[in-house]
Amino acid sequence: MSATSANAAAPPPGQLTQSHRKVILASSLGTIFEWYDFYLYGALAVIIAKQFFSGVNETTGFIFALLAFAAGFAVRPFGALVFGRLGDLVGRKYTFLVTIVLMGISTFLVGVLPNYASIGIAAPIILVVLRMAQGLALGGEYGGAATYVAEHAPNGKRGLYTSFIQTTATIGLLLSLIVILAVRETVGVEAFEEWGWRIPFLGSILLLGISVWIRMQLHESPLFQQMKAEGKGSKSPLRESFLSKNGRIVLLALIGATAGQAVVWYAGQFYAMYFLTQSLKVDATTTWLLIGGALIIGTPFFVFFGWLSDRIGRKKIVMAGCLIAALTYFPLFKALTHYANPAIAEASARAPAVVTADPDTCSFQFDPVGKKKFTSSCDIATAALAKAGVPYTIQPAPAGTVASVAVGNERFASYEAAGLDADAAKAQGEVFGSSLTAALTQGGYPTKAEDARINKPMVLLILTILVLYVTMVYGPIAAWLVELFPTRIRYTSMSLPYHIGNGWFGGFLPTISFALVAATGNMYFGLWYPIVIALMTFVVGSLFLRETKDVDIRD
């Protein structure tokens, strides 16, 4: 065993040694850069929708861009299986060296990928493939970094040590926002949306070089080395992890820990960001600055809750975070509306928008391939209101009724576009659009949030509260997962529930939530998704998962 690993395995009680600092710093920096790569896409989803999904309507294009974002999350469990098995067979260090190379190259290629206008449908297809490659890489990265640091940590300090890994996702997001803002201010808004957005992706090649160099300096985990030396390693990590009684713990870890943690994480950071820009019409720069401020304030609390979990337990803190978030999301997001764009709430109260239509003619307007035409009078009316960011309700009408829109006391008819030629449809659309614009203007609905009316301190406070929920559920989760599973199958066993939870339950949150909003006209309806999942985790985790803070993972 190397001197570095030996020292890290047996430190003076309660002391953070120099070798420990090296392990934590090297693992964390590499993971920060990998999260930076992964979240560039999320922060630039609106621009990417215009670049790669311009062949469909604007609303469908944005939802499809979110689906491409979610595609990276969808394949994360498969990355967990592939690289988790490799990590348990070959070693932690070399496995997460491979993952960061895959991530860095995939991100760089997004920066050079031609857009839809240049190569047509091939552009979004290649983009999704690259997102899936990123997801595979991330599926192997997190479990390796968390396991590696945990296996260096002394008993009683594992929550603290692994909490530094937990900061990396948020710091990576913050770093991506800083780089985006810097490039946007340097080249200008128009140039950034046209070509400047590529620069942060291209710059990832430099971070890749730094990350590879850092990780080449590391030694293998002392527990893994000891296990291999004693011949106690697993010959079939997948079978032992999932096709034995250990599989029950994997399932409980998913439902009772990571699923709720994931939706709280993505609701508090990504959904809040999209809610501000898409629903509340706050400009992107202001949103990024406010989100960035909240992340800066909240990030130290990852370490605080990791440290606290060493004293009072992981389970109590994660369960409390899920419950508090579920109980307060509705008032917090309504407060965001009040302080970020009060004109929406004022206009909605003064002149509520109501679509009267035959419910059977109102479609769920999502068509990823752009072939279906939404031509009913209900679809035309609701699409126009959704595009304008106006909350609305649908009032049922008898079959065959042509939909109408009421904005306050103003009521006007929509139109049926089926069977109309292009010129007639355009003429009808102009009449309807003119009537809708006039009614919304008279009702006081804003086209964008007025900067002077944004109460930035209060918005920052609310965003910070949402980030604090994230730190509660995320700070202790790595230590909890590591301690649930034995060394010989730890990488595989902890990676799969983590990445199904975060990749599927969390990664699809923006897409599912905004689809629910578009379908109902209620800008808060999408919150039901994270609330239900968080409550499920609270119940299952409280009843069926054990506390692990006193577990000795060397046994």
Give me the DSSP letters along 419-447. T--HHHHHHHHHHHHHHHHHHHHHHT--S
CA distance 463 to 298: 9
Of 323, 125, 301, 109, the residue nearest 205 (C-alpha): 109
Report whether pLDDT(96) > 80: no
Report whether pLDDT(192) > 70: yes
Report whether pLDDT(408) > 60: yes
Q: How confident is the model at residue 285 (pLDDT cuts 50, 70, 90)?
A: confident
Mean pLDDT along residues 38-60: 73
Report whether pLDDT(78) > 50: yes
Taking the C-alpha atoms of 296, 324, 315 and 14 in order, what is their torsion angle to the nearest 10 degrees?
40
Please report the pLDDT score of residue 214 as a whole number. 75
Angle at 136 between CA 221 and CA 118, to 5 degrees: 145
Exposed (0-12), middle (13-18) or buried (19+): which is 186, by Cβ within 10 Å?
A: exposed
CB contact at 8 A, 365 and 383? yes
Whole-number average pLDDT of the chain: 83
Please report the pLDDT score of residue 99 as a whole number. 82
Please report the pLDDT score of residue 265 as a whole number. 92
Please report the pLDDT score of residue 403 as a whole number. 92
Query: In the chain, pLDDT over 90 holds for what percent of residues?
Result: 32
Please report the pLDDT score of residue 401 as a whole number. 92
Six token digits for residue 35: 């999260």
The residues facing 410 across adjacent strands are 407
Q: Which residues contact 549 (CB under 8 A, 6 or more apart)?
A: 159, 309, 310, 311, 312, 313, 314, 479, 483
Domains and their CATH numbers in the chain? 3-341+451-544 (1.20.1250.20), 350-443 (3.40.30)
Higher per-residue confidence, 208 vs 342: 342
Please report the pLDDT score of residue 213 as a whole number. 83
| Alpha-carbon separation of residue 402 from 3, 215, 381 (angstroms) | 78, 64, 10
CB contact at 8 A, 318 and 264? no
Least-confidence region, from 18-22, 381-385, 492-496: 18-22
Mean pLDDT along residues 15-28: 64
Report whether pLDDT(137) > 60: yes
Please report the pLDDT score of residue 231 as a whole number. 61
Please report the pLDDT score of residue 469 as a whole number. 97
Least-confidence region, from 112-121, 180-189, 364-373, 466-475: 364-373
CA distance 31 to 43: 18
Least-confidence region, from 69-73, 290-294, 470-474: 69-73
Six token digits for residue 178: 């800083």
| Alpha-carbon separation of residue 86 from 79, 93, 236, 238, 330 (angstroms) | 10, 11, 10, 10, 43
CA distance 435 to 429: 10
CA distance 151 to 8: 9
Report whether pLDDT(107) > 90: no
pLDDT tens-place string over residues 216-273: 776 666 656 666 665 655 566 677 767 777 888 889 999 999 999 999 998 998 899 8
| pTM of the complete model | 0.80
| Alpha-carbon separation of residue 279 from 114, 282, 352, 523, 526 (angstroms) | 29, 8, 16, 7, 12
Please report the pLDDT score of residue 13 as a whole number. 40
Mean pLDDT along residues 295-300: 92
DSSP 8-state symbol, 408: T
Report whether pLDDT(390) > 70: yes
Place of tokens 């506390």: 547
CB contact at 8 A, 175 and 207? no
